[in-house]
Structure 1
Amino acid sequence: MSDTNESGAAIGIRRAAEMAALFMIGDGLLGITQPERHVGLWRSEVKAVDALVKPFGGRPGRRRAYGLVQLGAGLLLASRLRR
């Protein structure tokens, strides 16, 4: 249990934010280092899913740039989660 008086709801929100930061950092790193493989993995026959990655298809530089944005945003979010 937490050593602070933080409510269960507040802890849940902080944990969700931490998970979002982890996802952004990891996805960003994969997008930077392996853009074509990463985009290819997420291509889908489900239109809503494919719409998210379609702008990056055949454009590894664009995916790398987006990966840098994700990485920075994830690190910023994580840094704001300190007690």
Structure 2
Amino acid sequence: MATDPRRALTGSPWPARSAEMAAIFMVGDGLIGLAQPDRHVDLWKDAALGAERAVRPFVGHPARRRVYALAQIAAGLWLASHQRPKPIRD
């Protein structure tokens, strides 16, 4: 039985999986930013396809990056905790 493509995400696990992947990225990036703020910012401050603007407020401010890292970790954990598996329906 073919599934109606207009209903592809209805009951699909993919939105929750995508949110879970975003949460994992947020937690991981936050942990690296917390442990090694200067090295992490230095990696992204030049020739980084647009990321330079995002990291500019943290250049030379490791404490500011650590505070942001804590917020990233908290937000990532919150996001992950709100994802629930959904049964796949035809």
User: Shorter-chain TM-score: what band?
Assistant: 0.7 to 0.9
Relative to the length of structure 1, the TM-score reads: 0.83
Relative to the length of structure 2, the TM-score reads: 0.77
Once the 2 structures are TM-superposed, how far is the Cα of residue 12 of structure 1 from its aligned partner?
A: 1.4
Could you list the per-position Cα deviations for residues 19-75 of structure 1 after superposition, in whole angstroms to 9, with x for gaps in the alignment?
A: 100000000001110000000011123573200001000000000000000000000
Structure 2 unaligned residues grouped into runs of 5+: 1-6, 86-90
Structure 1 unaligned residues grouped into runs of 5+: 1-6
Identify, as 1 or 2, the structure richer in helix: 1
Matched residue count: 77
After superposition, the CA RMSD in angstroms is: 1.7
Bigger radius of gyration among the two: 2
Q: Report the equivalent of 1:36.
A: 38
Structure 1 outlier segments of 4+, above 6 Å: none
